[in-house]
Amino acid sequence: MGRRRLGLAGRAAAVAACAAAAIAACAAAGAAPQQGAPGSGAFWGKNSEGYWWYAKEPPAPEKKKPEEKKPLPPAPAAKAEPPKTKIPEQPAEQPPKVGSFEWISENIKVYRKAAIDDPTVANVKAYLYVQRLAMDRAQQFAEAGKLAIIGDPLLDESANYPVQAGMTQNKRMAYISGETERLLKRMYKNTGMLFVFKNVCFLCDQQAEVLKIAEKQYGLAVQAVAVDEIDDRSTAAKLFPNYVYNPAAARELKVLALPSTFLYNGRTTELKPMLQGMMSLSDLTDRSITAARMYHWLPESEYAYIKPQDELLSLSGTLAKGSGLSSELEEYGGINPFGKNTNYIPPETLVKLIQDAKYKEIPADFVPRGY
pLDDT, tens digit (0-9, with 9 covering 90-100), for 162-218: 665 555 677 777 888 888 999 999 999 999 999 999 999 999 999 999 999 999 999
348 and 200 in contact (C-beta within 8 Å)?
no
| 78-92, 136-150, 306-320: range with highest mean pLDDT | 136-150
Angle between helices 167-187 and 281-294 (to 10 degrees): 60
Helix (H) or strand (E) holding 334: strand 334-335
* pLDDT over 50 at 3, yes or no: no
Partners of 364 in the beta sheet?
A: none
Task: Show the beta-strand stretches assigned E in the chain.
Answer: 191-197, 222-226, 244-245, 260-265, 271-276, 334-335, 341-344
Lowest mean pLDDT among 51-65, 104-118, 243-257: 51-65
Q: Given this model, what pLDDT does residue 49 score? A: 53
Taking alpha carbons only, the member of 135, 148, 71, 75 closest to residue 104 is 135
* pLDDT over 60 at 309, yes or no: yes
Instruction: Calculate the CA 102 to chain-centre distance.
Output: 32
Q: How confident is the model at residue 316 (pLDDT cuts 50, 70, 90)?
A: confident
The arithmetic mean of pLDDT across residues 65-75, rounded, is 65
The arithmetic mean of pLDDT across residues 7-17, rounded, is 48
Angle between helices 202-218 and 167-187 (to 10 degrees): 90
Lowest mean pLDDT among 41-55, 76-90, 140-154, 354-368: 41-55
The arithmetic mean of pLDDT across residues 132-151, rounded, is 92
How many Å apart are CA 190 and CA 196, to the nearest integer?
Answer: 20
Residue 341: helix, strand or coil by DSSP? strand
Q: Given this model, what pLDDT does residue 165 score? A: 53
- Return the number of other C-beta atoms located less than 10 Å from residue 225's C-beta: 20
207 and 236 in contact (C-beta within 8 Å)?
yes
Give residue 320's region: left, alpha or beta (phi > 0; psi -120 to 50). Answer: beta
Residue 238: helix, strand or coil by DSSP? helix
How many Å apart are CA 232 and CA 228, to the nearest integer?
Answer: 13
Q: How confident is the model at residue 249 (pLDDT cuts 50, 70, 90)?
A: very high
Instruction: Calculate the CA 2 to chain-centre distance.
Output: 150
Q: Note the maximum CA span of the chain.
A: 203
Q: Given this model, what pLDDT does residue 69 score? A: 64
Q: Given this model, what pLDDT does residue 221 score? A: 96
> Model-level pTM greater than 0.85?
no
Phi, psi of 239 (to 5 degrees): -75, -30
Q: How confident is the model at residue 55 (pLDDT cuts 50, 70, 90)?
A: low
pLDDT tens digits for 83-124? 666 676 777 778 888 888 889 999 999 999 999 999 999 999
56 and 62 in contact (C-beta within 8 Å)?
no
Q: Which class for 193: exposed (0-12), middle (13-18), buried (19 or more C-beta within 10 A)?
A: buried
Between 29 and 77, where is the model more confident?
77
Portion of the chain with pLDDT greater than 90, in percent? 47
322 and 203 in contact (C-beta within 8 Å)?
no
* pLDDT over 60 at 291, yes or no: yes
* pLDDT over 70 at 274, yes or no: yes
* pLDDT over 50 at 32, yes or no: no
Residue 101: helix, strand or coil by DSSP? helix
How many Å apart are CA 99 and CA 110, to the nearest integer?
Answer: 15
197 and 211 in contact (C-beta within 8 Å)?
no
Q: Given this model, what pLDDT does residue 70 score? A: 66
Helix (H) or strand (E) holding 264: strand 260-265
Q: 163: which residues sit within 8 A by CB, 6+ positions away? A: 169, 172
195 and 208 in contact (C-beta within 8 Å)?
yes
* pLDDT over 70 at 66, yes or no: no
288 and 263 in contact (C-beta within 8 Å)?
yes
**Mean pLDDT, the chain, integer:** 81
Pairing relationship of beta strands 222-226 and 244-245 according to DSSP bridges: parallel
Q: Given this model, what pLDDT does residue 301 score? A: 82
What strands lie across the sheet with 222-226, from one edge to the other?
Answer: 244-245, 222-226, 191-197, 260-265, 271-276
Between 309 and 215, where is the model more confident?
215
Q: Given this model, what pLDDT does residue 83 score? A: 67
